[in-house]
Chain A
Amino acid sequence: MSAPADTLTAAPHLDDEEARYREVQRRERWRRRAMPALGIVGLIALWWAVVAIFQVKPFIAPSPWAVLQTLYVKRDVLLANLLPTAGEALGGFLLGNLVAIAVATLFVHNRRLQEIFFPVVVMFNSIPVVAKAPILVLLMGNGVEPKIAIAALVCFFPTLVNSVRGLEAVNPQAMELMRVLSASRREIFFKLRVFSALPFLFSALRIAASMSVIGAVVGEWIGATQGIGAMIIQATYNFDSALLYAAIVMSAALSGSFFLAIVALERAIIRWQPESHMT
């Protein structure tokens, strides 16, 4: 490395600097992790303060403590209702995204189809979920099917748009390379387009992960007897605000864990990017 004479004097000094640098880095990492937690704690404290200072009636808005108690006391019924919602959301997520990816693949290979049907899809997407939900319940009955269908519908659109964009966002010179190599469309798809589309697909899947839970909950608003959505409706009619908030916390936890699962999957699959983007 360096001359022996230097090592005696210079090395400890350099090590000091390096150690100081690492220390600063470590503190910076902790700070970045602590800040969001600070935001959440601050918000809960504010909520608590507002409820306490203005003496808000428990049936209007509960205190955080009351919500926490309800979460514990009614954990069995909450979990029993969380499971069907999670199942519907997951089913809708898988169905909606698989269909979206299939349609995107079709669109990329057949421009005519894309020109005809893309505007139709955009039109359908502009109908609000809450308007689509009753139609599907009428069509499919009161079982899990309409809930899965609604969750699938809300996942479908972002994934379709992003997949089409991703499959077409191929480096033009890489495309020319494949043509010089006389690659077939299938080879171009599986060796080039799929990989180029993956980052786009995953940013859509992150959205879809939370959207699927919203879809399932909205589906349960209409005539369902179980599920987080049904609980929300019942708790509202019964002025049981603590249970309402507890149900909301459960659904947020559900979509949060869906989201984190997708992020983990993305990190496991997309290993070629120099810097993984923080979410």
Chain B
Amino acid sequence: MSAVAAAAPRPAGDAPATAAADWAVSCRNLQVRFFTERRAITALQGLSLDVAVGEFLTLLGPSGCGKSTFLRVVADLIQPNSGEIRVFGAQPEAARLQRDIGFVFQDPALLPWRNALQNVELPLQVAVGRARRAKATPRELLELVGLKGSEQAYPHELSGGMRQRVSIARALASDPKILLMDEPFGALDEITRDRLNEELRRVWRELGITVLFVTHSIHEAAYLGQRVLMMAANPGRVRAVVPVTLPAGRTLASRESSEFVALTSELRRLLETC
């Protein structure tokens, strides 16, 4: 019923043979294996997926289903063993070198010797030749994530939620085309998490950026995403792709709607059979 659901691309597999450049992320038969001393782990098996430019895709699934691995393949932190992947039509390495990628980790990983503003400035100070500058200054980005007035505060003076806001502002500083978020709110309390979810949607709509968001929370996955990519573990693979048919202007209150409840119960059912 909503424009969002209609605009969302069709699930992978039966996607038409469009040029990969039209997608933010496009992959076919992606396979990633790790070797430990005792055994080989297939972190990703036969993953095929297309993510539209500007889409908000959430990745949901049990631990060890390869959600984080997938983000790291997109960011060129892990190279796949086989399969193909394009990020904005190019190899992940090229996308990384062009600074198309912003990454938000579960641990905010702020540099404790830099204050909030200096942390946001970091991407503009490394690989300076490649650095693109966001239209917004680091100061404005801090304001965008609701941290006006805390520019001079050091990480140890900030709460967990504020630190994660700084890390989001930092990821946005070099004007990435895609934001990869690996359980960014996993360690936060529910109240802070809800507020950050709402603000992340606002930031996403303001910037029109593509977001891949990994989470363990069904509510978070349903509330944030335009589609939910449900993954299963051992080996890590796609279980289902569920379109989210909630209004684009959803608020936290929308989570009490019958539509939302129906969606989360479906997700829960799928998760239980993973």
Which A residues lie at the B interface, using CB under 8 A? Answer: 171, 173-174, 176-184, 187, 191-192, 195, 271-274
CA distance A171 to B155 in the complex (A): 14
Q: Is the CB of B156 within 8 A of A180?
A: no
Q: How far is the CB of A169 from chain B (nearest CB, A)?
A: 13
Q: Do A182 and B99 form a contact, CB below 8 Å, given A173-B105, A176-B105, A187-B126? A: yes
Q: Is the CB of A192 within 8 A of B111?
A: yes
CA distance A272 to B125 in the complex (A): 20
Q: Is the CB of A273 within 8 A of B156?
A: yes
Q: Is the CB of A178 within 8 A of B126?
A: yes
Contact with A along B103-144 (1 / 0, CB 8 A): 101110101110000000011011100100000000000000
A195 surroundings in chain B (CB, below 8 A): 111, 113
Q: Is the CB of B77 within 8 A of A176?
A: yes
A-B contact pairs, 30 of them (CB 8 A): A173-B105, A173-B109, A174-B109, A176-B72, A176-B75, A176-B77, A176-B103, A176-B105, A177-B105, A177-B109, A179-B77, A180-B75, A180-B96, A180-B102, A181-B126, A181-B174, A182-B99, A182-B130, A183-B126, A184-B126, A184-B127, A187-B126, A191-B122, A191-B125, A191-B126, A195-B111, A195-B113, A272-B112, A272-B155, A273-B156
The chain B residue sitting closest to A182, CB to CB, is B127
Q: How far is the CB of B74 from chain A (nearest CB, A)?
A: 10
Q: How far is the CB of A200 from chain B (nearest CB, A)?
A: 14
Most A CB atoms within 10 A — which of B99, B103, B155?
B103
CA distance A195 to B126 in the complex (A): 16
**Is B97 interfacial (CB-CB < 8 Å)?**
yes
**Is B49 interfacial (CB-CB < 8 Å)?**
no
**Is B154 interfacial (CB-CB < 8 Å)?**
yes
The chain A residue sitting closest to B106, CB to CB, is A173
Q: Is the CB of A171 within 8 A of B127?
A: no
Main secondary structure of the interface of B (DSSP, over half): loop
Q: Is the CB of B112 within 8 A of A182?
A: no
Q: Do A174 and B126 form a contact, CB below 8 Å, given A180-B77, A180-B96, A182-B99? A: no
Q: Is the CB of B75 within 8 A of A181?
A: no
A191 surroundings in chain B (CB, below 8 A): 111, 122, 125-126
CA distance A181 to B125 in the complex (A): 10
A171 surroundings in chain B (CB, below 8 A): 107, 109
A179 surroundings in chain B (CB, below 8 A): 76-77, 96
Q: Is the CB of A180 within 8 A of B101?
A: yes
Q: Do A272 and B113 form a contact, CB below 8 Å, given A171-B107, A191-B125? A: yes
CA distance A181 to B120 in the complex (A): 13
The chain B residue sitting closest to A269, CB to CB, is B113
CA distance A171 to B130 in the complex (A): 24
B113 surroundings in chain A (CB, below 8 A): 195, 271-272
B112 surroundings in chain A (CB, below 8 A): 272-273
The chain B residue sitting closest to A178, CB to CB, is B126
Q: Do A183 and B127 form a contact, CB below 8 Å, given A174-B111, A195-B113, A272-B112? A: yes
B107 surroundings in chain A (CB, below 8 A): 171, 173
Q: How far is the CB of B189 from chain A (nearest CB, A)?
A: 20
CA distance A272 to B77 in the complex (A): 29
A173 surroundings in chain B (CB, below 8 A): 105-107, 109
B111 surroundings in chain A (CB, below 8 A): 174, 191-192, 195
B75 surroundings in chain A (CB, below 8 A): 176, 180
- Extra A-B contacts (5), CB below 8 Å, given A181-B126, A191-B122: A177-B103, A177-B105, A180-B101, A184-B127, A187-B127
Q: How far is the CB of B202 from chain A (nearest CB, A)?
A: 24
Most A CB atoms within 10 A — which of B99, B102, B123, B155?
B123
Q: Is the CB of B123 within 8 A of A181?
A: yes
Q: Is the CB of B96 within 8 A of A182?
A: yes
CA distance A191 to B123 in the complex (A): 11
